[in-house]
Amino acid sequence: MALAFHSIPFCVISCCKSRPSSTRRRLLTVRSSGDLSGPSSGAAVVWYKHDLRLDDHPGLVSATLQQRTVVPVYIFDRRIISGLSDKMLDILLFALEDLKRLLKNQGSDLFIRFGSSEDVIIKIVNEVKATEVFTEEDVDYNIHRVINIVQSSLSAASFPWGSPKFHCWKAPLYDVKNMKDLPASYKAFQKMKFRVSNPTASPSLPC
């Protein structure tokens, strides 16, 4: 599965050149991602960031229920990964390998791409003629900013079949209908005795 190191974009090499050799080798392994073959219509892109799982993934569940083709993708965007420590990058690469294996077991795959998230997602949307994009909300300022840029770029781009709908999902630990209803103090929160949310089951992915 490993590819020649020169196939990794310079922006990622510059982030990882000081990392341990084991980290660089794992990056090369994860890099092998296959090709996209676009359907005529009815595709959803699931943009993974920190939510590297199949279980308890509302975005993946919604995508599989609404579209006949689901394209899971992870993007090595310098704005998202540059702040990761060596240990966190190793954990990320292990998680990507595991997610890729789980998706392949279901006849799907995790497509790995490099570059700015907005450019990559627009390219994938065009390749598969996607009508929906799903991604998890994020409280990190830099990632939240990237999400907004992607959403704005999709709205500004022109697609013959129309702009894809952009869905931001969240999976709170507690069953709270409206986050604005949460009290300011922890003691008041305890008194409300919210139920813990039930995790969603892993969906059956369309092949």
What type of residue is 203? P
Going along the chain from its start, the domains and CATH numbers come out as: 8-171 (3.40.50.620)
The tens digit of pLDDT for each residue in 50-78 reads: 889 988 888 998 998 888 899 999 999 99
- Rounded distance between C-alpha atoms, residue 99 and residue 32, angstroms: 14
Per-residue confidence (pLDDT) for residue 171, from 0 to 100:
67
List residues bridging with 77 in a β-sheet: none
Average pLDDT over residues 107-115: 93
One DSSP character per residue, the chain reads ----GGGS-HHHHHHHTTS-HHHHHHHHHHH--------SS-EEEEEESS---STT-HHHHHHHHH-SEEEEEEEE-HHHHTT--HHHHHHHHHHHHHHHHHHHHTT---EEEES-HHHHHHHHHHHHTEEEEEEE---SHHHHHHHHHHHHHHHHS--TT-PPEEEEE---SB--S-GGGS-SSHHHHHHH-PPBPPPPPPP----
Residue 106 pLDDT > 70: yes
Tell me the average pLDDT of the chain: 78
Separation of alpha carbons 134 and 169, rounded Å: 7
pLDDT score for 82: 85
pLDDT of 186 reads 80
Residue 14, C-beta contacts closer than 8 angstroms, at least 6 positions apart: none
Structure tokens at 77: 């965007």
Strands 69-76 and 111-114, how do they pair? parallel
Residue pair 81/16 in contact by the 8 Å Cβ criterion: no
Contact indicator for 201, 91 with CB cutoff of 8 Å:
no
What average pLDDT does range 125-145 have in this prediction? 92
When pLDDT is cut at 50, 70 and 90, the band that residue 40 belongs to is very low
